[in-house]
Amino acid sequence: MSPTPSFADIADIADLRTACREGRYSGPTGGLLPDHLIANLVVLPRDWAYDFLVYCQRNPKACPLIEILDPGATEPRLSAPGADLRTDLSRYAVYVDGQRRADRLEVRDLWQRDSVAMLIGSSMSFERALARAGVAPSFVWVLRTGIDTVPGGRFHGQLVVTMRCMSPADAVVATQLTSRFVWTHGAPIHIGDPDTIGAKLAAPIWGDPLTRIPDGLVPVFWACGVTPQSAAEAARPPLMITHAPAHGLVTDLLADQYCLP
């Protein structure tokens, strides 16, 4: 179930996919091939997929859709040609009626004729751009906010954000840079006072609780891919397959291309 991760063996994207497919790699995917756009996976029955597409379109900063596959299809021909979404992620989360079951290393037996796979750009893909510019902070919080997303069909919920604490000068550079990454959450949704957006510093989804922002730094907030994941869980579809957190698909797309094919 949980082979020892082996970063050293992974030279390129073909290696990574083979290692995942053969169950030899089950670790997180951020930073493995840092120029590649990472995508989060959501698989739903077709009837639920319609609602989810509408939800994503209405909340494009939180849910930038990279690719939608035909019902039953397993190969993301546009963003990862040759890959098989049933086996080529390193780890899967499976939800039945909104309840998370045991993680899986492959989901071949769960794929139905009407399973619609959707890939959503991950902000991991702009981390590298921040690092190249010297403005990547050492830690990224994931926080709930008080901002309601726009409902779409059976999907709704509050916006989840990533927070990076930066010098004001770095915040300007980070805003300029990420504005170009429209398929991986794009420009910040807020800069400054966390209370304005109801960001829950005391109870982070990821990271240590905070009582205040460190002196001299400004918090910068980006819409986060946990938003659609959390909306999808709350809607309790009969079956939903996703990447396990931090185990998104490494696509063939390069994050620096800024646009879809």
CA distance 171 to 218: 7
# of chain residues touching a copy of itself (CB under 8 A)? 23
> Which residues inside 164-183 make contact with a copy of itself, applying CB under 8 A?
179-180, 182
- 60 lies in the binding site for a copy of itself (CB under 8 A): yes
Binding marks (x or -) toward a copy of itself, 138..167, rule CB under 8 A?
------------x-x---------------
Encoded amino acid at 47, one letter:
D
- 68 lies in the binding site for a copy of itself (CB under 8 A): yes
Beta bridge partners of 163: 141, 221
Q: Which part of the chain contacts a copy of itself (CB under 8 A), choosing from 9-17, 166-174, 212-220, 253-261?
A: 253-261
> Residue 53 or 232: which CB sits closer to a copy of itself?
53
- 65 lies in the binding site for a copy of itself (CB under 8 A): yes
- 213 lies in the binding site for a copy of itself (CB under 8 A): no
CA distance 110 to 85: 12
- 259 lies in the binding site for a copy of itself (CB under 8 A): yes
Judge whether 248 and 122 are in contact, CB under 8 Å. Answer: yes
Does residue 178 come out as left (phi exceeding 0), alpha (psi in the -120 to 50 range) or beta?
Answer: alpha
CA distance 138 to 158: 26
- 50 lies in the binding site for a copy of itself (CB under 8 A): yes
Beta bridge partners of 148: 158
